[in-house]
Structure 1
Amino acid sequence: MNKKINTMYFSATDTTKKVVWSVGKKISENMNGEITINNIDFTLPLVRKEPVSFTEEDVVVVGVPVYAGRVPNVLLKYLNAIIGNGALAIPVVVYGNRNYDDALIELKDILELNGFKVIAGGAFVGEHSFSKTLAKNRPDEKDMVIASDFANEIYRKITTEDEIQPIVVKGNKPYRKYYMPKNENGRSVDIRKVTPKTNDNCIDCKLCANVCPMGSIDSNDVSKLNGICIKCGACIKKCPTYGKYYDDQDYLRHKYELEIGCTYRREPELFI
């Protein structure tokens, strides 16, 4: 069987990329005896302007991070424009050790509506975008072994089943609303408009502007935003001088709650 292996991912801090690439790489090694992968990294905005379509000869591993328990709404337009044409798809979501809620079933539904045949799915854990301690350094070695085994099972399914069966994944229909943190009075708070600040450590290297997946950080003045902030963590975690930070109290309270309340190690969940 000669299938073309593809990976697609949005990965501002490289955790989703690590999982998706590993799964695609292992499938390719099994399928072709070598690493031959077509890779589409749609993290940056210019890539999301290019149309993408596949054929029945394609196997596509599609990965997104989980934002508030769902597929990030800023990606829906792009994801809904991908054309499957009968390609086999493996949706993968990566979350920060709280919960992936309805993100996986939502991504699966999007792919199926776009003409893909979804044959497997997985929810993996990555270091939380808000934190450097919550799920620190994940996906780790143990996660990557599971990702490799997952890829082996996908290869087995593709090559041994005459009629590849669809899968059922965890999730609700209708999908739950996007998760919202609460303040000290138990009332929901909206942190969507919270933006990062810039301190005196900034050396104006422009890295934050280059890695912002929304293209929102002004390259002429990196302390300014010309668009939305999705709290992906890229500008903070990738800054070489720790020049970016958040000071919004609702954001910081939610970050603290996650760090003390979600320490129990969650493991990847696979559906195949």
Structure 2
Amino acid sequence: MNIKKLSALYFSPTGGTEKIARYVAGELGKRLGLKPEYIPFTKPAEREGERRFGPGELLVMASPVYAGRLPNKLMPEYQAKIFGDGAIALPICVFGNRSPDEALRELALLLEGNGFQLAGGAAFAGRHAFSDQVGEGRPDGDDLAQMADFAAKIAEKLAGEELPPLELDRSEIGPYYTPLKVDGTPARFLKAKPLTHWEKCCYCGACARACPMGSIDPKTMDAVGLCVKCQACVRKCTRRAKFFEDPDFLSHVSMLEQNYTRRADNQIML
């Protein structure tokens, strides 16, 4: 197959998904003799308008996993704005060391439904956005080696005259994972929003600029709109002034730290 253009598009509020998308695309680029174009799809302005990819193009499409699925507030935007028109796609999901659950299959089916031909796909573990203890150090050297091997196998597939159909379960996608508290009961924190230690805040606006939903007032630094719990404001605050105190959210974080510090396996689909 004659691949003329390689692109990597990613939604990545805290940078973990972008890192993996760039690494996989870079490894593919080495093997295909192409320089990847990197397309952020994170902030509201970056998500305006459609993105169309045509014949001879390869798209690495990367998304984080939220509750075992694609982020529910972003999935409709993926569906409404990213189209294949005969291009080839490589869906990549990044999960926080618990499980990718249905996210990879969901992204693959979405891209296939939007006109892409699938070359393969993968779900790679990263550090969890909620806690540095969950997925600490991921992706590590072993992960990067697995990504490079994955890219090599995809490049080998693309060297053929035709791309064989990808074997994929096309049944209905399962439900979202229900977050749990330490006691095993459901953790209900949909309405939780970040708070601010005002004695630390310098009103620099880093949190407002980082929010992928545009939900932090750049004048007051208050969370005034929809919060997807991505932790971008917490992690990018220059003074460590942003925090969550919702009891269910904090109990869920503790549950993750108690049960999911073991090394989760990556998933490869070829």
Q: What is the match of residue 40 of structure 1?
A: 39
Aligned-partner SS, 1:105: helix
Q: Give the CA deviation at 1:57.
A: 1.0
Counterpart of 1:11 in structure 2: which amino acid?
S
Distance 1:137 1:239 in 2: 21
Q: How does 1:77-116 map to 2 (within 5 A)?
A: 77-81=76-80, 82-116=82-116
Q: What are the Cα deviations for residues 174-221 of structure 1, in whole angstroms up to 9, with x where unaligned?
A: 222211223466542321110111012222111111011001011001
Aligned equivalent of 2:75? 76
**Does the CA-based 8 Å contact 1:157-1:164 persist in structure 2?**
yes
Q: Per the alignment, do residues 193 and 57 of structure 1 end up closer, same or farther by CA in structure 2, a change over 3 Å counting?
A: same
Contact 1:83–1:115 under 8 Å retained in 2: yes
Give the 3 Å change call, closer, same or farther, for CA 94–2 of structure 1 in structure 2. closer
- Whole-Å Cα distance in 1 between the matches of residues 120 and 234 of structure 2? 33
Alignment correspondent of 2:219: 220
Report the RMSD for the aligned CA atoms in angstroms.
1.6
Answer yes or no: is the 8 Å Cα contact 2:3–2:57 preserved in 1.
Answer: no
Counterpart contact for 2:53–2:85, Cα < 8 Å: yes
Q: In structure 1, which of residues 228, 231, 250 is the aligned counterpart of residue 229 of structure 2?
A: 231
Q: Quick check: 1:182 aligned with 2:180?
A: yes
Q: 1:204 to 1:55 in 2, by over 3 A?
A: same
Instruction: Give 1:19-168 correspondences, 5 Å limit.
Output: 19-32=20-33, 36-81=35-80, 82-159=82-159, 161-168=160-167
Which stretch shifts more, 230-239 or 56-65?
230-239
CA distance in structure 2 between the aligned counterparts of 1:140 and 1:163, rounded to whole angstroms:
34
SS at 2:255's partner residue?
helix
Q: C-alpha separation between the residues in 2 aligned to 1:3 and 1:225? A: 43
SS for the counterpart of 2:60 is strand
Deviation at 1:3, TM superposition (A): 2.0
Distance 1:192 1:56 in 2: 41
For the residues of structure 2 that align with 1:137 and 1:201, how far apart are their CA atoms? 28
Among candidates 189, 192, 199, match of residue 191 of structure 1: 189
Query: 1:247 is paired with a residue of what secondary structure?
Result: coil
Amino acid at match of 2:112: E
Q: Tell me, what secondary structure is at the counterpart of 2:91?
A: strand
The one-letter code sitting in structure 1 at the alignment partner of 2:24 is V
Q: List runs of 5+ in structure 1 lacking aligned partners.
A: none
Separation in structure 2 between the aligned mates of residue 141 and residue 128 of structure 1, nearest angstrom: 18
> Would you say the 8 A contact 2:109–2:170 is kept in 1?
no
Compared CA separation, residues 113 and 248, structure 1 to 2 (3 A): same
Match of residue 205 from structure 1: 204
CA offset at residue 28 of structure 1?
1.3
The 1:182/1:22 distance shift into structure 2, 3 A limit, reads closer
Deviation readout 1:216-256 (Å, 9 max, x if unpaired): 0110011x122111111111112222111111110000000
* Cα deviation, residue 164, structure 1: 1.1
The sequence identity of aligned pairs, in percent, is 37
Cα displacement (A) at 1:107? 0.3
Partner of 2:9: 8
* Residue correspondences, number: 267
